[in-house]
């Protein structure tokens, strides 16, 4: 079980992401304008080995007037991940754990494995800011996802199935999805996020589907 420490990180997560987001191909902000980020939701998963922190974070960018919500899976490690230099978001000094290496979780094998476990019903989503507390607002549903509804996403294929992570969240009802034409969609994770004005929305965060050539 991951332990959530009530402490500080320097620089903070939003500072790290404000520097990292504009360089990503799915970033929707205007060129040359710095993001103005606020926490907007998310959840966590536990690493069975207890070594890697796993967070599915949502941040809202209000720099361009209309808020844009980004889903940013992150991992936190006590040492660099070999061969993952291009996935590094940055380093931060944790008030309890010391120096942490923060990675884009879609490129961290521990997060990808735990997300696949969640999509198979073999992992329990946890509250973002509470230790050992399941998050009942995060749901896993079998099938029923139309791929065209999920722009701005990163795939990670394994054993004939691919995990697809939504990067830019669009509010949608959990019932809005339609069955894939070839039945390739296996499961999806739907979770809540909150706009800066406090309005709550749900969106598809990730799907598991048959990999295509």
Q: What is the mean pLDDT of residues 103-123?
A: 94
Distance, CA of 42 to CA of 191 (rounded, Å): 7
Distance, CA of 101 to CA of 109 (rounded, Å): 15
DSSP state letter for 21: G
| Residue-level pLDDT at 213 | 56
Whether the pTM exceeds 0.85: the reply is no
Residues forming beta bridges with residue 57, ordered by sequence position: 42, 72
Distance, CA of 71 to CA of 138 (rounded, Å): 14
Distance, CA of 21 to CA of 70 (rounded, Å): 9
Residue-wise pLDDT for 149-203, tens only, equals 343 455 555 567 889 999 999 765 333 333 333 345 689 999 999 988 888 999 9
Q: What is the mean pLDDT of residues 74-102?
A: 91
Q: How far is CA 122 from CA 1, 29, 66, in A?
A: 15, 36, 37
Residues in contact with 206: Cβ distance below 8 Å, sequence separation at least 6, in sequence order: 115, 119, 163, 164, 165, 166, 188, 189
> Does residue 39 carry a pLDDT above 60?
yes
- Segments of 112-160 assigned E as strands: 139-142, 153-158
| Residue-level pLDDT at 172 | 53
Chain mean pLDDT for the chain: 83
């Amino acid at each position: 079980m991951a332990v959530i420490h009530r402490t500080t990180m320097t620089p903070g997560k939003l500072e790290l992401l404000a520097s990292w987001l504009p360089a990503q191909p799915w970033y929707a902000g205007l060129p040359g304008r710095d993001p103005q980020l606020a926490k907007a939701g998310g959840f966590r998963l536990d690493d069975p080995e207890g070594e890697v922190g796993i967070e599915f974070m949502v941040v809202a960018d209000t720099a361009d007037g209309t808020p844009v919500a980004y889903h940013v899976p992150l991992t936190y490690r006590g040492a660099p991940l070999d061969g993952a230099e291009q996935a590094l978001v940055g380093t931060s000094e944790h008030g309890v754990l010391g120096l942490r290496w923060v990675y884009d979780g879609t490129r961290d094998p521990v997060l990808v494995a735990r997300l696949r476990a969640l999509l198979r019903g073999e992992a329990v989503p946890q509250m973002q800011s509470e230790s050992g507390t399941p998050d009942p607002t995060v749901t896993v549903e079998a099938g029923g996802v139309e791929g065209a509804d999920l722009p701005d996403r990163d795939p990670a294929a394994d054993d004939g199935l691919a995990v697809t992570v939504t990067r830019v969240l669009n509010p949608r009802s959990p019932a809005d999805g339609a069955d894939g034409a070839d039945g390739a969609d296996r499961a999806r994770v739907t979770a809540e996020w909150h706009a800066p004005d406090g309005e709550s929305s749900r969106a598809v965060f990730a799907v598991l589907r048959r990999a295509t050539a």
